[in-house]
Chain A
Amino acid sequence: MSKYLVDIQNERLSFFTPAGEVKALNDVSIHLEEGEVLGIVGESGSGKSVTAYSLMGLTAHPGKLLGGSLVFEDKHIENMTEKELRQIRGNDISIIFQDPMTSLNPVYTVGNQIMEAILLHTDKTKAQAKDRARELLELVGINEPDKRLKQYPHELSGGMRQRVMIAIALACEPKLLIADEPTTALDVTIQAQILELMMELKDKLGMAIIMITHDLGVVASMCDKIAVMYAGRIVEYGTTEDIFYRSSHMYTKGLIRSIPRLDTKEHERLVPIEGTPVDLLNPPAGCPFAPRCEACMKICLNQMPPKTEFDDVHYTNCWLIQKEEFEKGAQNE
């Protein structure tokens, strides 16, 4: 038995669009232990959602898994049939989507939608499922659960809808919860409520969470480990402390530097990352970040940097670090 709950190795995934092959994921490796919170951060189009969705076999149409292995509890997701996948979805692995309005069905009541997952995966009767649904609504902090069960999504506020989404996701006590930008569509004060709730539930139910977000503030307070993605690759991976205090990849550093913080002085200049994100239809030959990197060297433009491991967890893919490590090694000898 592998020591990891989730073990993704060298995943490669492309979307075959009319305009050409979009290499959405290149050699992505991620692992996650039970009860752990992993944050995946990156810009739009960096492949963070695609990675998580592929773990549930939810790759959308022109997308194709080209290689690598996706193991969840010693089961290979990539070899599963649709029927086997259905056993896992909503049962062992659940997902919360970004926009709670579009991901809830507007013509079914909240109660109906929560019960659906319970009835599908357990042999509870309808009455038992309804009791469980009521319990779940209480668990996610919704008042008057009996009234809410009969309401439709449009009758609820954004924060409330997201709570319902979480209730549905937790219906079968999953071992892994994937949260895809769960708070991006919400206001800050509501975001604080939802994040608090997720952490509480994690401790109560002992599930692992994959948190997909572009907000470094959200991962800083919640996650044990962080994967930073850029253009379909993981550029740096490590514990939260590694990423924030010992970051080594230029993109991670730039990202941390570029966010405005409350504790900076007024009119202190931000240090942006210049340039624009890469076009995944024609990715550069070398490191995808090279065109925007201020420390770009000749080799960066031509060859993909190899992995540099600092310890068991923390690693990065950057030529600059390779060079530094090499020089350090040369000195020691």
Chain B
Amino acid sequence: MNKPFIEVEHLRQYFPAGGFGKNRKYVQAVDDVSFTIAKGETLGLVGESGCGKTTTGRSMLRLYEPTGGKFTYDGETIFDVENKVYAEMLPYRKKMQIVFQDPYASLDPRMTVGDIVGEAIDVHKLAANKQERYDLIIEMLRRVGLNSEHANRYPHEFSGGQRQRVGIARALAVNPEFIVCDEPISALDVSIQAQVINMFEDLQEEMGLTYLFIAHDLSVVKHISDRIGVMYLGRMVELAESHELTEHPVHPYTKSLISAIPIADPKIAKASKRIVLEGDVPSPLNPPSGCRFRTRCPYATEKCAEEVPVWREITDGHYVACHNV
């Protein structure tokens, strides 16, 4: 088998949270997460707020300094914390980009849209002269369904959906290969969401992009992803091809997540039985021992409290971490 395009191994990201010296406490935002993404593929990452999905994406791009683990991009090591290998990031920033969740907060209100998109072109010196820079900016705006007259406007003049398009144009400006899409549609209205999802798919086809698509809405993720990983409290609990995961989920958390999605069809909705999980997600400052899901899991046994379940492959390409599977 060829080397995967993107390979994340045992990624850990802890954030210090109070205490001194030996008593220093850490939020274990991401703990031992491993996955691969093939070229041109979309891997979806779902989970509830605080499960570490956004942190995973950001740590990969070194927007945070990872606490542990290894990330290999196209055969080259971006970081390998255990062996203290860190690559120079600037050339890789051209290949890896991110689209942020909130299009209202992620665009500088004092820059015109043209400059927002053009900034990346300047940093990476992609344009030889002003005319070339302008042409590149306009091309990017066209690609996301905006036009040249939008380049001189400011972010506040745009609607949420249009702003998100600007955010995408900015990510595309450097002609990247890999984009982390961090909840790119959750701040948008329902009727606009579908437009943006379709655009992501079109762009992928045109430019051969590879996506890590992060969202809390499983139905959106299922729609765009080839494979889906489910995270809970900093750990990956299940990963499989998207139809396999939604049709034959094996982890109790995945099952309840799927059944909790409100179905927009009254007959099916009234007939289906929800598995309602009890309680709340525990604090990542002090996660439960063993399996982190055990406090809410209806099938938890003593073993779940003692041993951390092993991440293993049960059928071809279907991974899970659970003692009871």
Q: For the complex, what is the distance from the CA of A216 to the CA of B193, rounded to whole Å? A: 14
Listed stretches A71-79, A123-131, A192-200; interface member: A192-200
B contacts with A, residue count (CB < 8 A): 47
B interface residues (Cβ-Cβ under 8 A, vs A): 48-49, 159, 161-162, 189-195, 197-198, 201, 216-220, 222-226, 242-243, 246, 256-266, 269-270, 274, 276-278, 280-281
Look across to chain A and name the residue whose beta carbon is closest to the beta carbon of B277: A189
4 additional contacts, CB 8 Å, given A266-B225, A268-B223?
Answer: A43-B189, A256-B264, A262-B246, A272-B193
Let me know if A320 is at the binding interface, CB within 8 A: no
Q: For the complex, what is the distance from the CA of A221 to the CA of B246, rounded to whole Å? A: 20
Greatest chain A CB density within 10 A among B161, B257, B262 is at B262
**Contact A258 B190, beta carbon cutoff 8 Å:** yes
Let me know if A240 is at the binding interface, CB within 8 A: yes
Look across to chain A and name the residue whose beta carbon is closest to the beta carbon of B223: A260
A-B residue pairs in contact (CB < 8 Å), sample of 10? A189-B48, A189-B277, A193-B278, A216-B264, A217-B269, A262-B222, A265-B243, A267-B223, A272-B193, A277-B189
Interface of B is mostly: helix
Q: Kindly provide the distance from the CB of A222 to the nearest chain B CB, expressed in whole angstroms.
A: 8
Residues of A within 8 A of B190 (CB): 43, 214-216, 255, 258-259
Residues of B within 8 A of A21 (CB): none
Chain A to chain B: the 6 pairs with minimum beta-carbon distance, closest first: A217-B262, A272-B194, A221-B269, A187-B48, A258-B194, A192-B260
**Contact B260 A270, beta carbon cutoff 8 Å:** no
A157-B242 in contact given A188-B257, A261-B263 (Cβ < 8 Å): no
Residues of A within 8 A of B269 (CB): 217, 220-221
**Contact A43 B263, beta carbon cutoff 8 Å:** no
Q: For the complex, what is the distance from the CA of A185 to the CA of B48, rounded to whole Å? A: 11
Look across to chain A and name the residue whose beta carbon is closest to the beta carbon of B49: A187
Q: Kindly provide the distance from the CB of B244 to the nearest chain A CB, expressed in whole angstroms.
A: 11
Q: How large is the interface on A (under 10, 10 to 19, 20 to 34, 35 or more residues)?
A: 35 or more
**Contact B191 A255, beta carbon cutoff 8 Å:** yes
Q: Kindly provide the distance from the CB of B54 to the nearest chain A CB, expressed in whole angstroms.
A: 14
**Contact A191 B264, beta carbon cutoff 8 Å:** no
A189-B257 in contact given A261-B219, A273-B191, A276-B159 (Cβ < 8 Å): yes
A240-B266 in contact given A191-B260, A196-B274, A262-B218 (Cβ < 8 Å): yes
Partner of A196, one of B219, B224, B258, B276: B276
Q: For the complex, what is the distance from the CA of A240 to the CA of B195, rounded to whole Å? A: 26
Q: For the complex, what is the distance from the CA of A160 to the CA of B278, rounded to whole Å? A: 12
**Contact B274 A276, beta carbon cutoff 8 Å:** no
Q: Kindly provide the distance from the CB of B186 to the nearest chain A CB, expressed in whole angstroms.
A: 10
Q: For the complex, what is the distance from the CA of A158 to the CA of B218, rounded to whole Å? A: 20
**Contact B256 A189, beta carbon cutoff 8 Å:** yes
A interface residues (Cβ-Cβ under 8 A, vs B): 43-44, 157-160, 187-193, 195-196, 214-218, 220-221, 240-241, 244, 254-256, 258-262, 264-274, 276-277
**Contact B189 A270, beta carbon cutoff 8 Å:** no
Look across to chain B and name the residue whose beta carbon is closest to the beta carbon of A193: B276
Look across to chain B and name the residue whose beta carbon is closest to the beta carbon of A244: B266
A259-B264 in contact given A214-B190, A270-B194 (Cβ < 8 Å): yes
Q: Kindly provide the distance from the CB of A180 to the nearest chain B CB, expressed in whole angstroms.
A: 16
**Contact A244 B261, beta carbon cutoff 8 Å:** no
**Contact A266 B223, beta carbon cutoff 8 Å:** yes
Look across to chain B and name the residue whose beta carbon is closest to the beta carbon of A268: B223
Look across to chain B and name the residue whose beta carbon is closest to the beta carbon of A44: B189
Q: For the complex, what is the distance from the CA of A270 to the CA of B197, rounded to whole Å? A: 8
**Contact B262 A270, beta carbon cutoff 8 Å:** no
Q: Kindly provide the distance from the CB of B132 to the nearest chain A CB, expressed in whole angstroms.
A: 31
Q: Kindly provide the distance from the CB of B240 to the nearest chain A CB, expressed in whole angstroms.
A: 13
**Contact B262 A218, beta carbon cutoff 8 Å:** yes
Partner of A272, one of B191, B224, B264, B270: B191
Q: For the complex, what is the distance from the CA of A221 to the CA of B281, rounded to whole Å? A: 25
Q: For the complex, what is the distance from the CA of A270 to the CA of B262, rounded to whole Å? A: 18
Look across to chain B and name the residue whose beta carbon is closest to the beta carbon of A257: B194
Q: For the complex, what is the distance from the CA of A158 to the CA of B48, rounded to whole Å? A: 12
Residues of B within 8 A of A244 (CB): 264-266
A188-B261 in contact given A44-B189, A193-B276, A276-B161 (Cβ < 8 Å): yes
Partner of A190, one of B159, B258, B280: B280
Greatest chain B CB density within 10 A among A190, A215, A240 is at A190
A276-B192 in contact given A262-B261, A266-B223 (Cβ < 8 Å): yes
Residues of A within 8 A of B246 (CB): 262
**Contact A193 B189, beta carbon cutoff 8 Å:** no
Q: Kindly provide the distance from the CB of A99 to the nearest chain B CB, expressed in whole angstroms.
A: 14
A272-B195 in contact given A214-B190, A255-B190 (Cβ < 8 Å): yes
